[in-house]
Structure 1
Amino acid sequence: MIWIRSIFLKLFITYIAILIVSHVASYLLFQHNITSIHVISELNHLHEMKSLFVFTSFISIIITGIFAYYLSKKITAPLREMNRIALQIAKGQFNQQVEVKNRDEIGELGKTFNYMANELSSLDQMRKDFVANVSHDLRSPLTSILGFSKAFLDETIPEERKHHYFTLMKEQSERMLKLVNDLLDVARIEAGQLEIRTVSFNLSELVRQVVARMEPEFVKKQVSVELISNCEQDIYAHADPNKIDQVIVNLIQNAVQFSSNNSYVEVILNKEEQAEISIRDYGSGIRQDDIESIWDRFYKAERSRTHKTGTGLGLSIVKHILDLHHTDIRVESEIGKGTTFTFKLPISSN
């Protein structure tokens, strides 16, 4: 009955088969004994009939029980297998799979069960990678700060170099603070606690403030930032200004991070049917195979984690915030020529 795709039909046909077997058995037994019944008295005839039907019922129950047992065992075998594997998955063995042979409801359940096991395995691997990446990104700055602190206590650092090492310690502390803040943002996003409060605000002024606030980073990286707009008047948008501020900061930091010294970054603000914001750099670019993965937590197109200071969470947070605003972000990149991130916001009146 593998070709029957409904477990209801399987059980129904099984029930009909059991009834047919039972009646055939009763009929055969009755036919075998009917020739001797007519020569017996009426009392003996009734007694014989009772005995016959008792015996027939007993045989029918046995036959029905055997059929029902083996058929039920075969039908429910996938369910018992899923129960066994579910207990193993509960113990952390996520590589278990249910062998799906049927195409009925139980077969569909088995496919869904295997999909769930694969997703749990992926989540478990992500958890392990998450712990490993966080440990690495926290250990590196802590090791640097600890080493510099010991050098200061041992007074092995020349006076003229102290300012340089204090600056390094400050940078490493800021890196840890950014990582912790990003982790808190990710935790709020996953818990559904990141709230979006949309209002009308001056998007042009917000972009100018972000660029001015980040000027020390541009100077340190020796990267110039150019603000370009196709509209002489300020553009007003309807969104959450605090979260959009965070999006623009993360995108500019990403652009500066992957720009070479003495390069420049363009922040382009256009007004069409919607307000369009683009962040363009002329750095190393992103491979096409990596573009779909850049939104993953801790993903870095640069496999080396030593010379890049990003946490690998900025773009993931950007994507989540823009998803909450129900807007997409577009990425255009070419190796050796740079990358452009573009997203849109609804326009609001002043």
Structure 2
Amino acid sequence: MKPSKLYLKIFLYFVMILIVTELLIFGLFIVTAGRIFQARFEHYTRAKVLVAREFVNEKIQSEPERHPAENESLKNLILFFSKTYDAKVWLASADGTTVVKSFPGSLPIEISKITLQEDAHRPDLKNYRHLKKDWMSYSVIPVQIGKDQMGSLHIIFETAEADHIKAVFAIGLAAIGLIVALLVYSVSRRITAPIKKLKDSTLLIAKGDLSHRAVVKSRDEIGDLSRSFNFMTEKLEKMIRGSRELIAHVSHEIRSPLARIRVSEELLKDCIERSDYTDLKRHLNTMEQDIEELDRLIESLLTLSKLDIQETALKLDSIDLTALINDLLNRLKPGINRKNLKVQTSLSIDQPIVGDKAALKTAFSNILENTVKFTPENGQVIIKMYFQEKFSVITVTNSFGALSEKDLFQIFEPFYRTEQTRTTGSGLGLSITKKIIEKHRGSISAENSPDGFKILISLPAIDLKG
């Protein structure tokens, strides 16, 4: 399976951080522990050279008459140190001519490739290190090879434990790095797997499967993103389903007045053909009423659409709800009197609210108009308003029959009408009211009460008492 770009990016970032970390650790080792170990190794090397010189001096002085090149015991001693130190050892005269050596052939290194390291403890001891082969150590110390004749003892240590330790440490770091890289490979997959699932879910939803939900159970930021994604998808599904239902309802609602207008048109044509003008005005009035119904329906749909997309901003002002409700009741008096309704009000509250007066007027007008329209003749309407926990609460109760749980739950949905009200209205009034109230950070609900059907509205209030 081809790894994702995000997975490769995370993996490479981890590897880069790992390499930098290991280089820093190795550098710290060289600066601290490496230097300490190097100093101990040089002390150990110095001791070896000094021991070898003492023994060489002793052998030469034990047979002063013999030239060192002819001294067999000296040759054997040189070979002994060569094997013991695992090094190349030779004795040279003052002019650099080799006198005795532990190996065949010419000298193993070029002096030009060697750099001098001063020995602070023994000025007569010279230590060299190969410029290209940092592991090669070369020591030179003066030796008396004859009467009044000085020479030098040369030892090359080609196996240096200090540098061996560095190599082992570097290999160990590399091994640790490889193990961590393998772990990072697994961790990177665990990080990117939920993101890949989320991407696959996005593609499924883009293809139209709105019922699909991302399954990511992690409790980290990716899990939060998945849950937010599912919440968004659920809202989107509801919006699209609501739009489809809205189109279906609008088509149905528009079809009825259009059908009546078409019938009236046919009747008008018939009257004109028969020169019968007695019913002409009645048919024209019917058409006018149907056109007005269509106009109200379209106006309600436009209002609902604007509230949905929040096209218009609220014009906030301080509003006296008591005055607003009393004004609406005065406008509805003809209908109240015609049905002989008994209206009780308890609006003694001095906490105004902040809101859009025109929008709230529309909301309360819808509620009160429905109340007057659907309350039976000689019925009762109770309107109360009180202050509760920084909210102004308004209740409107009428003696309409109790509604089912389904009706109470769906009554604020667009185009929804109960069985008792199915023949009148567009079913948009309460939907518009609910959106206006929620836009004011309030809430609205419906319930059955002993006095009848009740609507409860809560709006944030200005507490004048502080």
TM score, norm. by length of structure 2: 0.52
Deviations 1:169-218 (A, max 9, x none): 33322222222222222233234325244356634651343214x64xx7
SS at match of 1:198: strand
Is 1:185 equivalent to 2:185 in the alignment? no
Is 1:78 equivalent to 2:194 in the alignment? yes
Q: Report which of the two structures shows the higher radius of gyration computed on alpha carbons.
A: 2
* Equivalent in the alignment of 2:266: 150
SS at match of 2:453: strand
* Equivalent in the alignment of 2:454: 340
Evaluate the alpha carbon distance shift between residue 73 and residue 280 of structure 1 in structure 2; reply closer, same or farther with a 3 A threshold. Answer: closer
How far residue 317 of structure 1 moved from its aligned partner, in angstroms, is 1.9
Does structure 2 retain, via aligned residues, the 8 Å contact 1:267–1:280?
yes
* Equivalent in the alignment of 2:435: 320
In the alignment of these two chains, the number of paired residues is 306
Evaluate the alpha carbon distance shift between residue 330 and residue 266 of structure 1 in structure 2; reply closer, same or farther with a 3 A threshold. Answer: farther
How far residue 141 of structure 1 moved from its aligned partner, in angstroms, is 1.6
Evaluate the alpha carbon distance shift between residue 326 and residue 61 of structure 1 in structure 2; reply closer, same or farther with a 3 A threshold. Answer: closer
* Equivalent in the alignment of 2:41: none
CA–CA separation in structure 1 for the residues paired with 2:462 and 2:281: 47
Deviations 1:19-62 (A, max 9, x none): 9xx9xxxxxxxxxxxxxxx9688545479959878877776665
CA–CA separation in structure 2 for the residues paired with 1:144 and 1:342: 37
Evaluate the alpha carbon distance shift between residue 268 and residue 170 of structure 1 in structure 2; reply closer, same or farther with a 3 A threshold. Answer: farther
SS at match of 2:306: helix
CA–CA separation in structure 2 for the residues paired with 1:204 and 1:111: 43
* Equivalent in the alignment of 1:8: none
* Equivalent in the alignment of 1:198: 317
Is 1:210 equivalent to 2:328 in the alignment? no
Is 1:297 equivalent to 2:414 in the alignment? yes
Q: Which structure 2 segments of 5+ residues have no match?
A: 1-10, 23-84, 89-134, 137-157
Evaluate the alpha carbon distance shift between residue 85 and residue 327 of structure 1 in structure 2; reply closer, same or farther with a 3 A threshold. Answer: closer
Does structure 1 retain, via aligned residues, the 8 Å contact 2:380–2:399?
no
* Equivalent in the alignment of 2:403: 286
* Equivalent in the alignment of 2:237: 121
CA–CA separation in structure 2 for the residues paired with 1:200 and 1:183: 26
Does structure 1 retain, via aligned residues, the 8 Å contact 2:396–2:455?
yes
Does structure 1 retain, via aligned residues, the 8 Å contact 2:324–2:361?
no
The residue identity in structure 2 corresponding to 1:253 is E
Evaluate the alpha carbon distance shift between residue 154 and residue 331 of structure 1 in structure 2; reply closer, same or farther with a 3 A threshold. Answer: same
Is 1:331 equivalent to 2:446 in the alignment? yes
Question: Equivalent of 2:294, from 176, 195, 199?
Answer: 176
Deviations 1:300-338 (A, max 9, x none): 333x99x42322221122223334555554534369x85
How far residue 70 of structure 1 moved from its aligned partner, in angstroms, is 3.3
SS at match of 1:82: helix
SS at match of 2:332: helix
CA–CA separation in structure 2 for the residues paired with 1:281 and 1:167: 33
Does structure 2 retain, via aligned residues, the 8 Å contact 1:211–1:225?
no
Does structure 2 retain, via aligned residues, the 8 Å contact 1:175–1:309?
no
SS at match of 2:446: strand
Query: RMSD of the TM alignment (CA)?
Result: 4.6
Q: Which has the higher contact order (CA 8 A, sep 6+)?
A: 1
The residue identity in structure 2 corresponding to 1:288 is E
CA–CA separation in structure 2 for the residues paired with 1:187 and 1:103: 38
Deviations 1:91-121 (A, max 9, x none): 4322222223434443343333333322222
How far residue 339 of structure 1 moved from its aligned partner, in angstroms, is 1.9
The residue identity in structure 1 corresponding to 2:453 is T
* Equivalent in the alignment of 1:242: 358
CA–CA separation in structure 1 for the residues paired with 2:167 and 2:325: 99
TM score, norm. by length of structure 1: 0.66
Evaluate the alpha carbon distance shift between residue 123 and residue 105 of structure 1 in structure 2; reply closer, same or farther with a 3 A threshold. Answer: same
Question: Equivalent of 2:227, from 111, 119, 122?
Answer: 111
CA–CA separation in structure 2 for the residues paired with 1:177 and 1:269: 31
CA–CA separation in structure 2 for the residues paired with 1:195 and 1:146: 40
CA–CA separation in structure 1 for the residues paired with 2:463 and 2:282: 47
